[in-house]
Amino acid sequence: MATTQKLMRAIRVFEFGGPEVLKLRSDVAVPVPQGHQVLIKVHACGVNPVETYIRSGAYSRKPVLPYTPGTDVAGVIESVGDSVSAFKKGDRVFCSNTVSGGYAEFALAADDTVYPLPETLDFRQGAALGIPYFTACRALFHSARVRAGESVLVHGASGGVGLASCQIARAHGLKVLGTAGSEEGKKLVLQNGAHEVFNHKEVNYIDKIEESAGIKQGGVDVIIEMLANKNLSHDLKLLSRGGRVIVVGCRGPIEINPRDTMAKETSIIGVSLFSSTKEEFQQFAGILQAGMEKGWLKPVIGYEYPLEKAAQAHEDIIHRSGKMGKMILVL
């Protein structure tokens, strides 16, 4: 007897282009997990800037068309493949990647990219964990090799990666400075681990950072940079001896004077989350697990959209300033 295939609502991209290429379909087949895969009933999915770059077709990584975007899913396990032993139907989970795409009612994921979601966090918060928190861990621990007692400037602290970086850095004994582009954003950054906060829209804010008590003793040790094409030249002047700028976000070229790195022997280091090995993902997951257990890891949700407004979310994540935490789709 023929079985009827289950269908679901999902965003599909049939051609690369602007936000309008995100099409909501209700005839997408619900995938079936094989081997080490799990099927997750999606309750929320994070929206990340990288998903807009991929959608535009201008990014180094291009999925085969048509595809469903989204990697940062939180939800409940619906079914598991034959080789899965760590999860069962009904488990609350979040993930750091998907096989079939997260802007959908159901998402397939490999079991080694799936993690238990504690009851203390809701699904919206679970959807804020994936790319932002794993990137913050990679930037701070792998790229910057931060040590307790050092200072860190999170340059662009009010969004997904920024707030995650502030929470993690504060919990690990760093002196944390942050920036935001609005008064509300500044308050949020202070509430989430920063000792001091500055407004990156103010003309003289770099002078204010230079004057800050936090860096008077010779500069800031680490800068986690969300918009290097705007800030890299200033960053190099804010660093301490042996300081490091960690380039997390960059949307174009910038002119710098390499001489600015010489006297203080400073470094510029790029980050690519998806260059992390499986072992590194597990290491970062361990740090995040500890944060969830101890209670210092508390994702902040900003703008929320239903699945049918995915195109608006893509427009806003790039063009709407005054971030107030993580942008998510709620299903």
Residue closer to ligand NAP by CB (options 157, 239) is 157
Residues 221-240 that bind ligand NAP (CB under 6 A): 226-227, 230-231
Q: Which residue is nearest to ligand NAP (CB)?
A: 159
Residue closer to ligand NAP by CB (options 9, 233) is 233
Query: How far, in Å, CA of 300 to CA of 312, rounded?
Result: 20
- Work out how close the CB of 229 gets to ligand NAP at its nearest, in angstroms, rounded to a whole number: 9
Residue closer to ligand NAP by CB (options 12, 186) is 186
Residues 241-260 that bind ligand NAP (CB under 6 A): 248-249
Binder to ligand NAP among 102, 160, 243, 291 (CB under 6 A)?
A: 160
185 near ligand NAP, rule: CB under 6 A: yes
Binder to ligand NAP among 99, 116, 182, 234 (CB under 6 A)?
A: 182
Binder to ligand NAP among 75, 307, 323, 328 (CB under 6 A)?
A: 323
Binding region for ligand NAP (CB under 6 A) out of 43-51, 65-73, 213-221, 303-311: 43-51
The strand pairing partners of 328, in sequence order, are: 46, 304
273 near ligand NAP, rule: CB under 6 A: yes
Binder to ligand NAP among 11, 40, 45, 49 (CB under 6 A)?
A: 49
Residue closer to ligand NAP by CB (options 101, 178) is 178
Sort strands 114-116 and 92-95 into parallel, antiparallel or unpaired.
antiparallel
